[in-house]
Structure 1
């Protein structure tokens, strides 16, 4: 009996070592999905592309889900790795990889085969050779967090709660995923290579890469995931600002600058949603340094300044934007609202100063009494002076008579 227990313990230890139970994620962040707040501002972000698609039934998917959910065939609990320790993202090795040293690193470009199903067995996506940069937020969190734990060639099952998949909104584009849907991912890690050196990347490829990162940021923004949007825009900016050892034409420089300014403008919008006012202001100022008449940057700068209580500066910025685009109803409405608020603030300040300094009588009521009082004082003073003078003359006469 003791030999059997020792054998079982050794088996469990070997499983834990093989799964890398003690592996720590260097990302660590638990990004919550933020609710979208419609503030009436047209942030000019492109809509999600409707690539069609739909739900596909698959007997093989049903079989896979049954194998996972059937208690008689359910694998031992020890084979599942609780990735974040909260039970909402789990990984199980189906087929071991080459070695623990072959795990991909953040920043590398990885390629996987991916099959995504709902918990009821519905296949929502099945793709081969899916490539993305690990840790850049190009894919759902479930993939970004678990693929970096896989060995090269490994096949794994991943159970992801909606929070780490497509969240409360779901996805209306490919893959089509309903709101609050938990997913089962079948992943096969094919390769991992270092990202290309930006300094040696041809300008056309840099422009394309930066544009893809910016578009991914737009997807995050439209889903209300503003922290990930800022991250994607930041990566795109790094690509546009990287020095180049390859010849670049003036037209390509202009295209890179255009991508950069779009990233900064959209980043300012996302930072505003996160209440990061100083960061949003810096983004707007950066745009205006290149394009002083950029209407979006002027508008968002005005909004930031208003939120910081700098109403006079905010009004100047919005007036400038409205002058450049007089028919823009959004700018006009924001400016009208701000002018009214600024007027109310000035009235409140005047009332506060009056309270601090007291309530002096009205000027119109003060002038007449002051004039009357002034004349009466003058007559009294004149009368007194005359009396003193007369008294002085009489005293002189008396003294002279005595002499």
Structure 2
């Protein structure tokens, strides 16, 4: 039950295609974390992060003229003191993401805003100095999750033209899984050298050409696939949601039927993948809505039917789930995944019905047993009555015989 370029399946029938492999094969199996972005407090732009330490900011007692002359004599051959080293900014307050300004930019007013498109020069290296990534012009939408969290969070604090050094824990880089491209080992901290080259407003979706919207929506969807494969399901849902907004935006540009079909195709894939991620997060109602949305456009979409059946089963709606899965199996009889899920569900439903029947019998006092007891009681009474009647007849007969014998005598 795939959802990427309408592709492949894993054991549960959820399929994804990562950006790294989709272009080559178009197929990869989907891969539980779901970490949301850390919430940053608003930064006061009036605060000067470049202030020197307090001990260097003056406030000491003024020396006497003698002390000053002595100090001048002792430091006659000493050059001017160097400026204090730039301070590190603890971005999240947990010591795991720090930023230091190397060269200031164009001022606080030039800081980018979430939703803007930014371009940065990036150089990433390991603790031993090994360079793992160099991007002279890396462009992304700030706050959309297009890049690692360390970039998304720190670039928001930079001024245009600013150069900065960022030290990030693996948590805000490539995490416990690491990365193949770039080559970053698992649980590895990174040092990022950054320069914010530009920041500009994102283009108006209504004025974008259909081809541009299709490309942009596909990029966001592929980013969601990457998050899904890494087990970051909440991030995946966020990327899929952004892609859906792009596909659903109104347009002031003429669009051909073929382009409409392509946008719908991207939308359906996003909804299917979103349902898969929502299932991983146990967001059953949301997953069901995603499946229903797909089926509103494509009533015979196998993946949506399969996932809808799974959601209904998880919600205890076994009869309806079985009906949906039977429909899916009829559309794709060769699917072992649907067949296995349906067989498992039918067994559960049978067990549930058996348990319910036993419960009803117990609630009603086991009427079947009561009927048997009544029949047994009736039978016992019939036997007793016949025995009593026979015994009485024998007694009466005995008395009559005694009377006759006495009369003869």
For this structure pair, what is the TM-score category when the shorter chain's length is used for normalisation? 0.7 to 0.9
In structure 2, the residue matched to 1:110 is 118
In structure 2, the residue matched to 1:356 is 363
SS of the equivalent of 2:16 reads coil
SS of the equivalent of 1:142 reads helix
Which string of whole-angstrom CA distances, capped at 9 and with x for unpartnered residues, describes residues 81-126 of structure 1?
0000000000000011110110000000000000000111111001
In structure 1, the residue matched to 2:17 is 46
In structure 2, the residue matched to 1:332 is 339
| TM superposition score normalised by structure 1 | 0.75
Tell me, yes or no, if structure 1 residue 242 matches structure 2 residue 244: no
Output the CA distance in 2 between the equivalents of 1:76 and 1:260: 54
Tell me, yes or no, if structure 1 residue 158 matches structure 2 residue 166: yes
Output the CA distance in 1 between the equivalents of 2:12 and 2:277: 12
Shift of 1:346: 1.2
- Segments of structure 2 that go 5 or more residues without pairing to the other structure are 1-8, 25-82, 387-409
Q: Matches of residues 1-400 of structure 1 in structure 2 within 5 Å?
A: 40-47=11-18, 49=20, 79-172=87-180, 174-362=181-369, 365=372, 368-369=375-376
Output the CA distance in 2 between the equivalents of 1:206 and 1:120: 42
Which string of whole-angstrom CA distances, capped at 9 and with x for unpartnered residues, describes residues 147-196 of structure 1?
00000000000000000000000011x21111000000000000001000
TM-aligned CA distance change 1:361 to 1:252, over 3 Å? closer
Shift of 1:44: 2.0
SS of the equivalent of 1:331 reads helix
SS of the equivalent of 1:166 reads coil
Which string of whole-angstrom CA distances, capped at 9 and with x for unpartnered residues, describes residues 343-392 of structure 1?
1111111122222221234488468558769999xx9xxxxxxxxxxxxx
Shift of 1:78: 6.7
TM-aligned CA distance change 1:368 to 1:353, over 3 Å? closer
Select the structure that is richer in helix: 1
User: Rg larger in 1 or in 2?
Assistant: 2
Which string of whole-angstrom CA distances, capped at 9 and with x for unpartnered residues, describes residues 125-163 of structure 1?
011110000000000000000000000000000000000
Shift of 1:39: 8.1
Shift of 1:222: 0.4
Q: How many residues align?
A: 319
In structure 2, the residue matched to 1:390 is none
SS of the equivalent of 1:49 reads helix
Output the CA distance in 2 between the equivalents of 1:225 and 1:322: 31
SS of the equivalent of 1:115 reads strand
Which string of whole-angstrom CA distances, capped at 9 and with x for unpartnered residues, describes residues 306-333 of structure 1?
1111111111111111111111111111
Shift of 1:284: 0.2
Output the CA distance in 2 between the equivalents of 1:41 and 1:217: 18
- Segments of structure 1 that go 5 or more residues without pairing to the other structure are 1-37, 53-74, 380-403
Output the CA distance in 2 between the equivalents of 1:77 and 1:183: 21
Output the CA distance in 1 between the equivalents of 2:351 and 2:114: 52
| TM superposition score normalised by structure 2 | 0.74
SS of the equivalent of 1:79 reads coil
Q: More deviation in 360-369 or 313-322?
A: 360-369
Shift of 1:229: 0.4
